[in-house]
């Protein structure tokens, strides 16, 4: 009898993907031990890992459940603040919350617990606003979630909440990525982990999202995306499943927000603008709506371009004695926008379409056999 | 065991000024194949949508295995413009179930305009319809702790695809199949929800003559194999006359005849409706 991939899927592509990812992690770890910690590479990798998680969480909603939400920055903000509030060391609180007598929170929790709190807080808010908002159809839902993010941003800067949020002042002194480095007694770093640990956090979260997508619930989400009426007729409770997807997506956006806080070393509500959501949306679109691999890939590409590879465009460049015209502060953004327009116009399905990493190997192995 | 599977009582569905279904009463007993026929726009699909919870009826009630699944009377603005039958018979205690709830109780359907999950394979289309009978929650499911359940669901999906002869295209995208096969896939997907009552909305539409020919045997076969009761809307009269135990005929939303195929074939009102309709 003929075999069908639907039940006896060849495990080779999945295994190869796993190997590739493992090697990539190993490379990051080794690079971190040997290259100078100030290298731009690590800035890109850390921020890229953070954005990858947020982009994948957004893709879970937009690409896999068909819910066009633009609340990502709001949920990241909630996550970032939750993380910071619960981890600023007690002895630093007096100086951080200088206008609020050391703040109202008088305990800390370990970093992993704070990360989970960050996710839960974001998921909780998502659950609350999900009830009314998820009844709306596409554009209205987008506007409502965008509005929610703006409101959250305003509320967190509200002075009355100062003892908790520090009002419009920044939160700082909480553990950041550099605190993951292992130091000896005299304070020298013996093992660098400030890039590897963020990679592990983002990796575990993304793996959980991928597992979810491949579970029965993931199939139900896709069914809702493809045809709500048919999904409901097949017994899938729309409200319940949309609420679930929205809360889970927001959980991981919250964790991503906490990672962003660690990356930035400070948190301030006013930086979580809708521009941040658009950036992430762009990443998702460029990577391919409905491809986790695409989102991850384009996160790193996007961050590398905006933070590193295109930086030279902002400075005067000389070729011999010839000064290249146009290059001045801000030109980078022009080029950047052009690239994005080209991608959106000519590669509408993004880099990956809906393909995933194992699919790349699958095609290759097929060609190899046939 | 309750012998009556579906009972529709004085069902009226009015959209604005259009009365799509008007005072329709009918019943279906266990193990029957019952057809609902009528000219284009007669209100057949609308009746299905009322049974499956897509629409809230304007008036009337529907019972499934003796249990109320819909009951309502004209309310709000509709009270003024209501143009159907007795508006006072079903006042109070309205019942409204969502479509997924109705499906869980055991009514599954196919769609007149095929509605497959376009981003999924044939296999996943059917597998997804098994989700509603799950025991796992999203955590156990994400962590793949429901291994046994998943395995069983996949096994059953394979059985169903075998039953509709689509196992060899299990890994193709659902929408890449020819029309006739898409219809069969919709039936398989509906069966995956483990229904007692199966509603088929024009299953032969878009099928070639040979496929239509095979369809009646197929419907009988799944009826026996899955112990179904079948409620079918169909325009192909040969098919309807061949498989139906009883037939209800509606025109402009109203019931104009009902009975066994022989009675319907010779009923002057039916002939008149079809000839007068012009379309057929
Ligand atoms: N959602 C709706 N809103 C307004 N009018 C509707 C709606 N659904 C159906 N109708 C109207 O109700 C009438 C009955 O439509 P319905 O689809 O039930 O007919 P049908 O018997 O299934 O016809 P066909 O054989 O063409 O499928 C039509 O006049 C249609 O325009
Ligand atoms: Mg119809």
Taking an 8 Å cut-off on Cβ atoms, the answer to whether A211 and B143 are in contact is yes
A152-161, A349-358, B67-76, B123-132: range with lowest mean pLDDT: A349-358
Cβ contact (<8 Å) for B103 and A219? no
Provide the pLDDT confidence category of residue A363 given band limits of 50, 70 and 90. low
Q: Is A119 on the interface with B (CB under 8 A)?
A: no
Nearest-5° angle of CA A298, CA A304, CA A307? 130
Distance of CA A109 to the CA centre of its chain: 23
CA atoms within 13 A on the CB side of B23: 10
At residue A9 the predicted structure's pLDDT band, cuts being 50, 70 and 90, is low
CB-based contact (8 Å) between A315 and chain B? no
> Does the beta-carbon distance from B167 to A4 stay under 8 Å?
yes
User: What's residue B239's pLDDT?
Assistant: 93
Q: Tell me how far the alpha carbon of residue B46 lies from the centroid of ligand 1, in angstroms.
A: 6
Nearest residue to B160 (alpha-carbon basis) of B138, B193, B137:
B193
Q: Supply the pLDDT for residue B40.
A: 92
Q: Within an 8 Å CB–CB cutoff, is residue A10 touching chain B?
A: no
What percentage of chain A exceeds 90 in pLDDT? 59
Q: Which residues of A touch B116 (CB under 8 A)?
A: 226-227, 230
Judge if the beta carbon of residue B74 lies within 6 A of ligand 1.
Answer: no
Check pLDDT > 90 for residue A308.
no
- Average pLDDT of A194-208? 96
Ranges of each domain in chain B: 1-106+197-206+229-280, 109-194
List Cβ neighbours of B269 (8 Å cut-off, separation of 6 or more): B249, B256, B257
Encode pLDDT of A269-300 as tens digits: 999 998 899 999 999 998 999 999 999 999 99
Judge: B132–A216 Cβ closer than 8 Å, yes or no: no
Write out residues in chain B with pLDDT < 70, as ranges. Answer: 1-2, 276-280
- Spell out which residues of chain B touch residue A220, defining contact as CB-CB under 8 Å: 128, 131
Instruction: Give the tokens for residue A7.
Output: 């039940």
Contacts of B158 in chain A (CB under 8 A): 4, 7
Q: Which of residues 13-52 of B touch A (CB under 8 A)?
A: 52
Q: Decide whether any atom of ligand 1 lies within 6 Å of the B42 Cβ.
A: yes
Q: Which of A126-130, A225-229, A330-334 has the lowest mean pLDDT?
A: A330-334
Give the pLDDT confidence score for residue A328 in this predicted structure.
67
Cβ–Cβ below 8 Å for A4 and B170: yes
CATH architecture classification, B1-106+197-206+229-280:
3-Layer(aba) Sandwich (3.40)
Q: What is the pTM of this model?
A: 0.91
Q: Where are the domains of chain A?
A: 2-369
Which residue in the set A216, A222, A354 is minimally distant from B141, CB to CB?
A216
Helices (H), A157-265: 162-165, 196-213, 216-226, 228-233, 238-264
Q: How far apart are CA A233 and CA A231, in angstroms?
A: 5
User: Tell me, what's the pLDDT at A368?
Assistant: 42
Q: Is the CB of B15 under 6 A from ligand 1?
A: yes
CA A212 to chain B, closest CA, distance in angstroms equals: 4
Lowest-pLDDT range, A26-35, A342-351, B158-167?
Answer: A342-351
Q: Give the model's pLDDT for residue A306.
A: 82
In the prediction, which pLDDT does A78 show?
97
Paired with B200 in beta bridges are B232
Distance CA B192, CA B170 (A): 15
Please tell me the predicted confidence (pLDDT) of residue A96.
Answer: 87
Residue A267 DSSP label: B
The tokens for B176 are: 């890449």
- What are the start-end ranges of the H helices in A265-330? 274-287, 292-304
Identify whether the C-beta of residue B160 lies closer than 8 Å to the C-beta of residue B188: yes
The answer to whether B222 and B228 have CB atoms below 8 angstroms apart is yes
8 Å CB contact of B138 and A4: no
Q: What is the dihedral of CA A135, A137, A141, A142, to 10 degrees?
A: 160
* Calpha distance B245→B208 (Å, rounded): 24
Ligand 1 site, residue B259, Cβ cutoff 6 A: no
Give the burial string for A260-299 (b: 16+ CB within 10 Å, else e): bbbbbeebbbebbebebbebbbbbbbbbbbbbbbbbbbbb
Half-sphere exposure of A315 (CA within 13 A, CB side): 8
Of the candidates B161, B226, B235, B166, the residue with the CA atom closest to the CA atom of residue B198: B226
- DSSP 8-state secondary structure symbol assigned to residue A367: H
Tell me the range of A38-47, A159-168, B116-125 where mean pLDDT is highest.
B116-125
B14 lines ligand 1 (CB under 6 A): no
Confidence of residue A313 (pLDDT cuts 50, 70, 90): confident
User: Within the 276-295 window of chain A, which residues sit less than 8 Å (CB to CB) from chain B?
Assistant: 290
Residue range B109-194, CATH number? 3.40.50.300
Q: What is the pLDDT of residue A197?
A: 95
Q: Which of B111, B144, B154 sits opposite A215 (nearest CB)?
A: B144
Around Cβ B108, how many Cβ atoms within 10 Å?
27
Tokens of B230: 């079948």
Determine whether the shortest distance from the Cβ of B46 to ligand 1 is under 6 A: yes
Per-residue confidence band for A327, with pLDDT thresholds at 50, 70 and 90: low
Dist CA A197 CA A203 (whole Å) = 9
Binding-face residues of A in 230-269 toward B, CB within 8 A: 230-238, 244, 248
Q: Does B165 touch chain A (CB under 8 A)?
A: no
Beta bridge partners of B62: B8, B70
Residue A309 has pLDDT above 70, yes or no: yes
Note whether B248 contacts A: Cβ–Cβ < 8 A: no
**A87/chain B closest Cα distance in angstroms:** 28
């Amino acid at each position: 009898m003929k075999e069908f991939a639907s039940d006896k899927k060849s495990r080779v592509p999945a295994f190869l993907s796993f190997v590739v990812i493992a090697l990539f992690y190993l490379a990051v770890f080794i690079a971190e031990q040997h290259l100078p910690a100030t290298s731009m590479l690590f800035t890109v990798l850390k921020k890229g890992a953070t954005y990858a998680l947020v982009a994948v969480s957004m893709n879970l909603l937009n690409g896999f459940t068909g819910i066009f939400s633009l609340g990502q920055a709001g949920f990241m903000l909630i996550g970032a603040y939750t993380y910071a509030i619960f981890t600023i060391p007690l002895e630093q609180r007096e100086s951080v919350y200088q206008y609020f007598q050391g703040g109202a929170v008088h305990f800390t929790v370990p970093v992993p617990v704070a990360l989970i709190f960050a996710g839960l807080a974001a998921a909780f808010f998502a659950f609350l606003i999900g009830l009314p908002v998820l009844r709306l159809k596409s554009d209205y839902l987008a506007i409502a979630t965008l509005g929610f993010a703006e409101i959250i941003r305003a509320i967190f800067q509200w002075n009355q909440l100062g003892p908790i949020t520090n009002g419009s002042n920044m939160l700082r002194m909480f553990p950041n990525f550099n605190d993951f480095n292992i130091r000896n007694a005299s304070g020298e770093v013996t093992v660098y982990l400030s890039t590897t640990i963020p990679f592990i956090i983002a990796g575990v979260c993304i793996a959980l999202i991928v597992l979810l997508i491949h579970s029965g619930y993931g199939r139900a989400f896709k069914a809702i995306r493809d045809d709500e009426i048919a999904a409901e007729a097949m017994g899938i409770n729309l409200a319940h499943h949309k609420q679930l997807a929205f809360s889970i997506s927001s959980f991981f956006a919250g964790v991503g927000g906490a990672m962003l806080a660690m990356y930035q070393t400070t948190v301030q509500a006013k930086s979580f603008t809708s521009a941040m959501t658009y950036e992430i949306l762009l990443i998702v679109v460029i990577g391919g709506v409905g491809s986790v691999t695409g989102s991850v890939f384009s996160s790193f590409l996007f961050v590398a371009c905006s933070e590193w590879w295109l930086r030279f465009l902002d400075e005067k460049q000389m070729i011999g004695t010839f000064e290249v015209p146009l290059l001045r502060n801000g030109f980078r953004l022009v080029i950047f926008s052009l690239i994005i327009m080209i991608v959106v116009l000519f590669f509408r399905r993004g880099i990956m379409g809906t393909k995933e990493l194992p699919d790349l190997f699958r095609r290759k192995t097929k060609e190899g056999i046939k | 065991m309750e012998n009556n599977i579906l009972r529709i009582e004085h069902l009226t569905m009015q959209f604005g000024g259009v009365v799509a279904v008007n005072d329709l009463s009918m019943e279906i007993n266990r193990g029957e194949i019952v057809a609902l026929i009528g000219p284009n726009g007669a209100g057949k699909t609308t009746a299905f949508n009322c049974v499956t919870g897509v629409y809230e009826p304007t008036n009337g009630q529907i019972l499934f295995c003796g249990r109320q699944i819909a009951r309502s009377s004209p309310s709000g603005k509709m009270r003024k413009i209501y143009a159907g039958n007795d508006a006072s018979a079903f006042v109070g205690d309205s019942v409204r179930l969502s479509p997924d709830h109705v499906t869980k109780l055991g009514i599954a359907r196919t769609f007149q305009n095929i509605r497959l999950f376009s981003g999924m394979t044939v296999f996943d289309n059917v597998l997804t319809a098994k989700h509603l009978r799950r025991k796992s929650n999203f955590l156990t499911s994400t962590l793949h702790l429901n291994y046994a359940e998943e395995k069983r669901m996949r096994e059953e999906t394979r059985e169903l695809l075998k039953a509709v002869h689509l196992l060899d295209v299990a890994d193709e995208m659902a929408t890449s199949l020819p029309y006739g096969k898409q219809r069969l896939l919709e039936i398989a997907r509906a069966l995956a929800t483990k229904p007692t009552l199966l509603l088929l909305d024009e299953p032969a539409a878009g099928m070639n003559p040979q496929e239509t020919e095979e369809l009646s045997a197929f419907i009988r076969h799944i009826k026996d194999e899955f112990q179904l009761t079948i409620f079918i809307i169909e325009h192909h009269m040969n098919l309807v006359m061949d498989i139906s135990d009883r037939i209800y005929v509606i025109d402009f939303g109203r019931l104009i005849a009902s009975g066994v195929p022989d009675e319907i074939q010779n009923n002057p009102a039916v002939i008149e409706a079809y000839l007068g309709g012009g379309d057929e």
